[in-house]
């Protein structure tokens, strides 16, 4: 069996991070992991980014290798003999192609849906403008911002380090079964954010537990440059 399930380039990642009551996340928590806290708070992130040059088991996906993904995720950790593994759990992941969503759900037991998406990325010497859009209930939602065109290193022990330095994914297959997989990429750089605007129907996308976020401002918004990534095929059941 090949080691790598998926390889791609992830670019222009926007993370809008909301502090939430830990009790909201408990029903979504897979067996064997616990919530991860940053400075006493638990977070969900509304995420938009680009998938490029996507391959499954090393084979390019014809006509479907470049697309937007929108997701909502939260942060967990799993205790092992060698310390904690830090990872994420996805509430939902959205892509524009039904075939991609079907493959991810069938082969990797994830929670993908397919809806229309689009993006716009503009860069000049003074500014980078990023916009991700997705359509629900015949209305376009958006996650958009302006940021510096110059990337800088993530600060040690910062919120951006906490958000990005989670290298495992955990999937709740059932109340008694959790799958673990590793995502491999180098440490990313970030672009200082100038301003941000979000319009998201959280209820339609993610359910009533997250409906209230539509009227909340995120606690932080982060943009990363991204890199080539691989997702391991070998998965552990915990």
Q: Which domains does the chain have, with CATH numbers?
A: 4-237 (2.40.400.10)
Measured from the Cβ of residue 187, the count of other Cβ atoms closer than 10 Å reads 11
C-alpha span between 175 and 155 (Å, rounded): 37
Q: What is the pLDDT of residue 192?
A: 97
Q: What is the pLDDT of residue 237?
A: 81
Q: Average pLDDT of 16-45?
A: 97
| Residue 172 reports pLDDT greater than 80 | yes
Q: What is the pLDDT of residue 210?
A: 98
C-alpha span between 22 and 27 (Å, rounded): 10
Q: What is the pLDDT of residue 178?
A: 94
Round the average pLDDT of the chain to a whole number and report it: 94
pTM, full prediction: 0.95
Strands of the chain (E only): list them. 4-20, 34-35, 42-56, 59-60, 67-80, 83-95, 112-114, 117-123, 128-136, 139-147, 152-153, 168-174, 177-184, 189-191, 193-199, 220-232, 236-237
Q: What is the per-residue pLDDT across 35-89, written as a single tens digit (0 to 9) for each?
A: 999 999 999 999 999 999 999 888 888 888 899 999 999 999 999 998 999 999 9
pLDDT confidence bin for 2, thresholds 50/70/90 = low
Q: How many CA atoms lie within 13 A of 110 on its CB side?
A: 24
| Residue 3 reports pLDDT greater than 90 | no
Q: What is the pLDDT of residue 28?
A: 96
Q: What is the pLDDT of residue 229?
A: 97
Q: Tell me which of 109 and 199 has the higher pLDDT.
A: 199
pLDDT confidence bin for 5, thresholds 50/70/90 = confident
Q: What is the per-residue pLDDT across 88-126, written as a single tens digit (0 to 9) for each?
A: 999 999 999 999 899 888 877 788 999 999 999 999 989
Q: Tell me which of 206 and 235 has the higher pLDDT.
A: 206
C-alpha span between 23 and 40 (Å, rounded): 14
| Residue 30 reports pLDDT greater than 70 | yes
């Amino acid at each position: 069996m090949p080691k790598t399930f998926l390889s791609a380039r992830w670019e222009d990642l926007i993370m809008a991070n909301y502090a939430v009551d830990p009790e909201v996340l408990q029903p979504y928590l897979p067996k064997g992991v616990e919530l991860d806290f940053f400075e006493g708070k638990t977070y969900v992130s509304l995420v938009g980014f680009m998938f490029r040059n996507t391959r499954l088991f090393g084979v390019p996906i014809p006509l479907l290798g470049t697309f937007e993904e929108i997701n909502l995720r939260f942060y967990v950790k799993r205790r092992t003999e060698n310390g904690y593994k830090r990872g994420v759990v996805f509430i939902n992941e959205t892509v524009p192609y039904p075939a991609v969503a079907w493959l991810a759900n069938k082969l990797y037991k994830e929670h993908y849906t397919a809806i229309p998406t689009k993006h716009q990325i503009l860069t000049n010497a003074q500014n980078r403008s990023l916009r991700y859009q997705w359509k629900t209930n015949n209305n376009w939602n958006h996650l958009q911002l302006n940021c510096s065109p110059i990337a800088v290193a993530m600060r040690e022990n910062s919120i951006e380090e906490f958000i990005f330095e989670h290298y495992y994914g955990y999937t709740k297959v059932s109340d008694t079964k959790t799958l673990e997989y590793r995502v491999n990429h180098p440490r990313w750089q970030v672009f200082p954010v100038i301003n941000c605007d979000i319009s998201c129907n959280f209820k339609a996308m993610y359910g009533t537990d997250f409906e209230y976020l539509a009227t909340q401002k995120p606690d932080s918004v982060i943009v990363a440059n991204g890199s080539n990534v691989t997702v391991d095929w070998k998965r552990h059941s915990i």
